[in-house]
Amino acid sequence: MNKETHNELRNTIPNFDQMYTQMVDIEDIVFDDMNSQVRMLGHAHAKVPAMVESRNNGAVVPPISLRKLANGKSEVKDGATRLLTEKAREQKQILASYYHDKVIKPDADEWFDIQCMQNDHPVQTSNSEADIENQIAHRVNNGVLEKTVGFKYHSDPDKFLDDSVKYLKTIYKNSGQGTLVLKNMVKRCLQGTISSFFQSYSKDTAMDLVNSSNQHGWSTDKTPGSKATGDICNNVCFYPCATYPQFKTNAFANGAYKKIDNPNTDIYIVFYVSELAGQTETKINDQRAHIAKEYDKINNGYLNSSGSKIFSGLYFLPQIKTGANKENLHKLIKAR
């Protein structure tokens, strides 16, 4: 346990140290590289020399946390650096606690949370940002987040993200990571789950699909060295947009200038949703409807010098991968 937890338990449980801490023979402690530490880079060996010096100068550290094994030995669940330190000091025993093992009796998932919480302390060996994200990934991959919040991600993506962050903030109280940082970590860890429901794109992959499936003669093969976005081929160009601001400020502005300089060029908009965390089929369709409405507003409001509209068409990229409205991922969806 960390110092904060140790002090809290001593303040709330009379005679805590006498009841729940004891000196344990180090040779009877199992040091499991897979389960004794939850940090991304494993045991903090680099911190041992500094802690050895500190301990030799009389520093007092809280007890490590142990779990009793069936063979009579104990597994270290928290305090790997302290254990390594005492081994380096050639100590035979170390102060330890079986409090969590005896009183809380946690299962594997609960032990994982306890380990993360005990590493969440304002000292040199606390969880790093990489540690926290790695630990969140463990919870995602093992279904711990689903079990904790009580429902699956796709049932209510926004609530799942919000409830997950509320839970994680109880684990990482001292990490200094705010709600937005934790939410972004969860989003990144959920990418595998999200990709099973929705297709993701970047500008490059969006243009790859345009290149392979458009019916307007546009091709990167005919424009050597092409960067694709906005490049003219056979008097045709495409502008991919992932958000409404991109459509309004980039595609509209660039497209209008391109139409002025190249009045015979057909300019097409390709829209997709790039930020898929928290999305549902309904939300994606709502964003598409908004883009279509704004597309019509612009196209009906502006004509070039020859009297033609700025844009010649609007396409959506296929993104819905499951359900009754599953889309063909190899075909552009014509909207206008």
Q: What is the pLDDT of residues 313-329, one digit of tens each?
A: 999 999 999 999 999 99
303 vs 178 pLDDT, higher one: 178
Model confidence at 123: pLDDT above 50:
no
Cβ within 8 Å of residue 55, ≥6 positions away: 61, 85, 86, 89
Phi, psi of 109 (to 5 degrees): -65, -40
Confidence grade of residue 224 (pLDDT, cut at 50, 70, 90): low
Q: Give the chain's end-to-end CA distance (angstroms, integer).
A: 62
Model confidence at 53: pLDDT above 60:
yes
Q: Is 324 helix (H, G, I), strand (E, B) or coil?
A: coil
Model confidence at 239: pLDDT above 90:
yes
Cα-based angle 124, 127, 132 (whole degrees, multiple of 5): 165
Over residues 148-161, mean pLDDT: 93
38 vs 269 pLDDT, higher one: 269
Confidence grade of residue 148 (pLDDT, cut at 50, 70, 90): very high
Phi, psi of 29 (to 5 degrees): -105, 125
Strand 74-78 relative to strand 29-30, pairing: parallel
- d(CA 144, CA 141) in angstroms, rounded, equals 8
- d(CA 85, CA 209) in angstroms, rounded, equals 56
What is the pLDDT, as a whole number, of residue 230?
Answer: 85
200 vs 46 pLDDT, higher one: 200
DSSP state of 123: S
Of 33, 2, 26, 241, residue with least CA distance to 117 = 2
pTM score of the predicted model = 0.65
pLDDT tens-digit readout, 256-278: 888 888 888 999 999 999 999 99
pLDDT tens-digit readout, 4-19: 888 888 888 989 999 9
38 vs 83 pLDDT, higher one: 83
106 vs 203 pLDDT, higher one: 203
Instruction: Please say whether the beta carbons of 176 and 126 come within 8 A.
Output: no
- How many CA atoms does the CB half-sphere of 235 hold within 13 Å? 6
**Over 227-255, what HEC string results?**
CCCCCCECCEEEEEECCHHHHHHHHHHHH
Strand partners, 30: 75
What is the pLDDT, as a whole number, of residue 211?
Answer: 92
Instruction: Please say whether the beta carbons of 320 and 327 come within 8 A.
Output: yes
Residue 313: enclosing H or E segment and its boundaries? strand 313-316
- d(CA 220, CA 212) in angstroms, rounded, equals 9
Model confidence at 20: pLDDT above 60:
yes
Q: Is 63 helix (H, G, I), strand (E, B) or coil?
A: coil
Residue 99: enclosing H or E segment and its boundaries? helix 99-99
What is the pLDDT, as a whole number, of residue 26?
Answer: 94
Reported residue count of the chain is 336
Of 125, 116, 105, residue with least CA distance to 46 = 125
Indicate the fold that domain 1-105 takes in CATH: 3.90.1530
Chain-centre distance for alpha carbon 191: 7
Q: What average pLDDT is seen over the chain? A: 86
- d(CA 257, CA 165) in angstroms, rounded, equals 44
Residue 96: enclosing H or E segment and its boundaries? strand 93-97
